[in-house]
Amino acid sequence: MSWNNGYGMGGQPSGTPWTGSADGAAGPRPLDQLPKYARETTPENPWPVNVLSRKWHDVIERWPTVWIEGQIVEINARRSTSVYITLRDNFEDVSISVNGFGAFAQMARGFKQGDRVVVHGKADLWVKQTRLSLRGDDIRKVGVGDLKEQIDELRRKLKGEGLFDESNKVPLPEFPKNIGLICAPQARAEGDVITNVMLRWPTVDFTVQHVHVQGPQCPPEVIDAIRRLDADPNVDVIIVARGGGSFEDLIGFSDEGVVRATAACVTPIVSAIGHEDDWTLIDLAADVRASTPTDAAKRVVPDVREQQQLIANAIGTMRMRIGAMVDNETRLVEGYANRPSLTRPQTMLDPYQRQIDDAVRTMRIGLTRIVDDEQLRVEKLEATLRALSPQSTLDRGYAVLQSADGHVVDDAATLKVGDEITVTLRRGAVVAQTTKIVEP
């Protein structure tokens, strides 16, 4: 193979390679001192990485162009002159990178994630990272992506069963003591959740379940982890966390079994899959959807500083209200104490004394009137009595004659000569005997 000092295919540098020796001696070696073929390399005389990468590049350059079919799971067409696409096989978990420039970039701008397309291009190797991709020159849409179509169909099916209804959602505990965390081992998502939770609420504990978060092992492991944490009585809330990724990387969290396990989970569960723009079916079944693992940490625990501030504000408000109540009661007591009824207690009796005086005066007037009326009546009765009394008759010179048995004698025929009689005069009485009776 021959090499030049210019640039190879795709603007990649292809200058004469130089390298140090295998025994560590410093200094470059020209290409003609290196083995010509791969079979001639030895531990003492190996190829440098750039030589192998360039040889592969030249081999791939001779490959023919090809039409391929797949589904767009990721597309970056932010620049008008270039586009980068991740194309996934319609049936297998296999993907390939496709890139293109100029006219191909303009054609690809009308496509979006989930579209099923056919792409024409040529294999290309980026020497700097020895990365194989397809350099596209034509792209055509052949229908809605099968994977996205399947997910949409599953979403409609599960929604019809009521798995996403708001009535199934349960509120998160206000002050959880133990958080169940489902994530990949040594994943950044785990650190984000634990770090942010501990910064906000340091007293909380974690029960962590490590699982695969992509690939065929993802769904069954996530389902098992959810069920384990849901059965743990110490776990107050569950977080399912994963960092960002392509559409195909997150596909495991749209698995029907994962969604059903999430919907059936009695313990409150929070989904924190990918970034804010990433959506999976587990987000619809979870009680709360967090945009990122960090956002999940902020949602499941309160901020201790905010709680302390709330407590301080509540104490301040309580003290202010108690102070106001005490001040009001103090003013009320002082008002009572300064009333004349307390400074001069006798004034409390003045109204009643006046009532008593008025009653006594009224009573005296009434009694005087009654006495006067009765006295007048007695005087009238006395006058009448005197007028009817025998004494008044005697006072005029008449006398009352009574027989010996005390009866008044008003008929002379009732007496006999010799009877004893009593004669009552105006003053005194005379006892006598009849000596003569004169008939009328």
Domain boundary among 255, 285, 302: 302
Is 70 exceeded by the pLDDT of residue 191? Answer: yes
Overall domain count for the chain: 3
Domain boundary among 244, 279, 302: 302
Same domain? 291 vs 400: no
pLDDT over 90 for what percent of the chain?
Answer: 51
**Residue 13 located in a structural domain:** no
Same domain? 85 vs 186: no
Phi-psi region of 426 (alpha: psi -120 to 50; beta: other; left: phi over 0): alpha
**Residue 372 located in a structural domain:** no
Q: In the structure, what pLDDT confidence band is assigned to residue 143 with cuts at 50, 70 and 90?
A: low
Judge whether 169 and 287 are in contact, CB under 8 Å: yes
Domain boundary among 113, 142, 171: 142
CA 164 to chain centre: 21
Q: Which amino acid is at 435?
A: T
pLDDT at residue number 228: 96
Backbone angles phi, psi at 82, to 5 degrees: -150, 155
Burial of 276 (0-12, 13-18, 19+ CB in 10 A): exposed
Mean per-residue pLDDT over the chain, rounded: 86
pLDDT over 70 for what percent of the chain?
Answer: 92
Lowest mean pLDDT among 149-158, 183-192, 319-328, 369-378: 149-158
Q: In the structure, what pLDDT confidence band is assigned to residue 110 with cuts at 50, 70 and 90?
A: confident
**pTM score, two decimals?**
0.49
Is 60 exceeded by the pLDDT of residue 315? Answer: yes
Judge whether 270 and 189 are in contact, CB under 8 Å: no
Same domain? 85 vs 103: yes
160-172 average pLDDT score: 93
Is 70 exceeded by the pLDDT of residue 214? Answer: yes
6-21 average pLDDT score: 41
> Residue 210: which H helix or E strand, with range?
strand 205-210
**Residue 18 located in a structural domain:** no
Strands 420-424 and 288-289: unpaired
Same domain? 238 vs 130: no
- CA 153/CA 249 separation, integer angstroms: 19
Same domain? 152 vs 294: yes
* Residue matched to tokens 């960090």: 294
Backbone angles phi, psi at 208, to 5 degrees: -100, 135
Same domain? 236 vs 154: yes
**What is the domain range of residue 74?**
38-142
